[in-house]
Structure 1
Amino acid sequence: MLNSMKRNGLVLALFGMAATAVVAVTHQLTEERIYDQQQKQLLKTLHQILPADEYDIPLHQSCHLVSNEQYLGTEAPQRAFIALKEGRPVGLALETTAPDGYNGEIHLIVGVNWNEELLGVRTLDHKETPGLGDGIDLRKSDWVQGFVGYRLIDEKDKRISVKKDGGEFDQFTGATITPRAYTKAVRHTLNYIRRFKEEIPSAPSCGEKR
């Protein structure tokens, strides 16, 4: 009986090890696929806000990590993609965060030409309420298209704010917190670019350890 218990225990142990290995391999493969999909989606988004014919070096080759919680909404490093043509910067796409969305952080990316004129804004990730705050998603609404063409006059320029706060952007029906947080994040990002864009090319590359 003792030998039988030992055999059963060994079988269970081997089964547990095999199951653990299968789960680990499945997780790794799934994680890689998710990462690949995220990178493809990011590249598609970058091409939407920085037209590919405007630069001659792939954006991932001019990616830098920058940090500034005051302007970029988080302590975490954000990616800045510099569009280069004939060795000169002609545009910039910068990830940023609205920390004060209705249901938490909203992650977005802001594209500008080197004269700081907005070329496009896209939402990367959010948890806003469906049917209310999800108007920041281009698949749900063209609201984010309204940022194109804006350029801050100065740091106090409030045009990129909701109308309730004296700006030019509509709030959503029944939801003001989300567009307020979003417009503020875009405005702060533009102010960051005004102050620090010349320093971005010397920031650590996305492949470097900080």
Structure 2
Amino acid sequence: MAKQSDNIIKNAMILFMITVIAGTLLGLTYEVTKEPIRIQQERLKNNALKAVVFEATEFSLIDLEEGSSEQGIVNLYEATKDGAIIGYAFEMTATEGYGGNIALMVGIGMDDQILGVDVIRHNETPGLGAKITELAFKSEFEGQPVAPLTVIKGAPTGNPGDITSISGATITSVSVTNAVNVATQYFNDNMAEVK
């Protein structure tokens, strides 16, 4: 009986040591990869900023109205060229994606038109929802008025405000479009005095 008790203690100590070693290695891995991950995320965000307001030479982070983060607005950037404001870039989180949250950037120009949309991160299904990163989908937003957009099924209509759903990925298409609508609504409500 004492031998069995010794075996239990020995096995418990072995498991404890394995757990300590695994935890230490995991912590070290996190510390080693934390900075490269942050740099990569910053690079993706900067690329997205340039993609949605490509004529801008400088982006400045500006304060958001209270409650904006609940709507999915993460950050708001003022885009300038030669000291003049040419638009705004909204860093958004679309929460209703099929595969989870979708991080995207929405550019809006001072002429009340959407300049562009770029996807920063997503977990959508390859070959279906992942098509939100393709130019065919993103380009549908360019030149759209700063007004509510609607997702339609079938062939593109060319009508202002219509965004054609990705076949087999309606949930993803609607999620991105809803995030763009939040950005345009914020722009209309808060940027009127700047125009």
TM-score range, shorter chain: 0.7 to 0.9
Matched, 1:49 2:52: yes
Aligned equivalent of 1:73, options 66, 71, 74: 71
Extract unaligned runs of 5+ from structure 1: 1-8, 201-210
User: 1:5-84 maps to which residues of 2 (within 5 A)?
Assistant: 20=24, 23-51=26-54, 53-55=55-57, 58-59=58-59, 62-66=60-64, 73-74=71-72, 78-84=74-80
2:137–2:166 Cα contact (<8 Å) kept: no
Partners in 2 of 1:65 and 1:28 — Cα distance?
31
Q: Which has the higher contact order (CA 8 A, sep 6+)?
A: 1
Matched, 1:170 2:164: yes
2:44–2:120 Cα contact (<8 Å) kept: no
User: Which residue of structure 2 aligns with residue 120 of structure 1?
Assistant: 116
Extract unaligned runs of 5+ from structure 2: 1-12, 154-158
Following superposition, the deviation at residue 178 of structure 1 comes to 1.3
Q: Secondary structure at the match of 2:35?
A: helix
Partners in 2 of 1:174 and 1:23 — Cα distance?
38
Q: 1:163 corresponds to which letter in structure 2? A: I
Report how many aligned residue pairs link the two structures. 172
Matched, 1:99 2:95: yes
Q: 1:36 corresponds to which letter in structure 2? A: I
Q: 1:70 to 1:41 in 2, by over 3 A?
A: closer
Give the structure-2-normalised TM-score.
Answer: 0.73
User: Which residue of structure 2 aligns with residue 147 of structure 1?
Assistant: 141
1:63–1:79 Cα contact (<8 Å) kept: yes
Q: Secondary structure at the match of 2:150?
A: coil
State the percentage of identical aligned residues: 29
Partners in 2 of 1:31 and 1:124 — Cα distance?
18
User: Which residue of structure 1 aligns with residue 150 of structure 2?
Assistant: 161
Partners in 1 of 2:138 and 2:63 — Cα distance?
25
User: 1:185-196 maps to which residues of 2 (within 5 A)?
Assistant: 185-196=179-190
